[in-house]
Amino acid sequence: MSGTAQIGVTGLAVMGRNLARNFARNGFTVAVHNRTASKTRALVEEFGDEGTFVPAESAADFVAALERPRRLIIMVKAGAPTDAVIEEFAPLLEEGDVIIDGGNAHFADTRRREKELRERGIHFVGVGISGGEEGALHGPSIMPGGSVESYASLGPLLERIAAKAPDGAPCVAHIGPDGAGHFVKMVHNGIEYADMQLIAEAYHLLRSVAGYSPEKIAETFRSWNTGRLDSYLIEITAEVLAHTDEATGKPFVDIVTDQAEQKGTGRWTVQIALDLGVPVSGIAEAVFARSLSGHAGLREASRSLPGPTAAALSEADAARFADQVEQALYASKIVSYTQGFHQIQAGSDEYGWNIDLGSVAAIWRAGCIIRAAFLDRIREAYDTQRELPSLLSDKQFAEEIGAAQEDWRAVVATAVHQGVPTPGFAAALSYYDALRAERLPAALTQGQRDFFGAHTYRRTDREGSFHTLWGGDRSEVSTD
């Protein structure tokens, strides 16, 4: 078998199959391989008219079908299965060839694999791909890490198949070395968790406090989607809420068990944020909200606890409250993105990736799950000021969140008064207030730590570290 395929895909479950079809539809010859050969044959039989596929039943035939430098995309489960596929194919490759992991790998695994394969002369590229199965087929947002040399070989292919932003730019960019691509994809998913939680809280408030039906809330979300909240998640939320279950005639949302699942990337985002010392409270609350929803026994045992019962508002008051919820949702959304971009910057600093935050915002404008109209403004903010400390340091975002804060506070207060849980809205507001506070109670926390553990503290009036001898005359000593 001669090397004629410009790209190869091994692992032909839904994502891998659709990615292979996307390459073929864009004029590339694509080698396809799967551990179960019947999947390879099925893809060619069903979609062979979409482009040129080169089916291969063995690893050796698959590698032989690829032109040099070989570009081989792995689309299998993260963890041990990915390592197994790498070990199967790496011995068949030559110096300068490229292995691409398109799964949701942990960035630390990607860093390890990149180092190991680099020592064998093989490029390893961890690629974050967002957009689900439809994105994989029609154009995803793509976040590749790896060496500059590997992107020179792979980039032109990815740029062809990626989603296109409103200005026509492909939603793909070289993120940085080794695990940078998978790190950014991880944080993307963390922001996605937060965004979904905030939308769910908005729905809960409109249902429980405003007294709106799912269909009425769907109309509200459709209206919001024509303005500054224009986004994929708002769009599909309206579709979900408007859907009626065929079997029962009830709103679809009422026949779904209220226990949200997760695949782990949101949890990774919070874990790594803790390691980096970055406060991502909105993302954390979204992860914990999913976890709490799954503890059915605990929730059942707690339903008799005392507390207020939400009371629906009058029609006029409900309409005013819905406007306030829109303000709270928008302000909290800004905070979620602020926290996510802060974590990306911290990761970039920690691992020496030199990530361009404006470029990240640019490639999230289409194709990915969190695509939203205001990402173009985020791109502009970071392009204008590369060293922007925070999105909240941008004048326009600061003005908008300032204008929203009165309604934002009213919504959180109403939720507390009515007993409706809004951990995302409340955490976002608390983060905002903590940033703007002249003094935080951390000073007292440091005093406590010094009292029971001699952990020392710093003073506001002179340099150095100090410890108070609390047990005696409480004199102070310098520890420098």
Enzyme catalytic residues? 185, 192
* 3-state DSSP assignment of residue 101: strand
What letters, b where the CB count within 10 A reaches 16 and e where it falls short, cover 416-448?
A: eebebebbbbbbbbebbeeeeeeeeeeeeeeee
Cα–Cα distance for residue pair 62/159, rounded to 1 Å:
24
Cα–Cα distance for residue pair 219/231, rounded to 1 Å:
15
Cα–Cα distance for residue pair 255/245, rounded to 1 Å:
8
Cα–Cα distance for residue pair 351/241, rounded to 1 Å:
42
Report which secondary-structure segment, H or E, holds 54. strand 52-55
Q: Which residue has the tokens 């087929």?
A: 137
State the pairing for strand pair 7-10/71-74: parallel
3-state helix, strand, coil in the chain (%, to 5): 55, 10, 30
Measured in Å, how far apart are the chain's first and last C-alpha atoms?
Answer: 70
Q: What is the CA radius of gyration of the chain?
A: 25
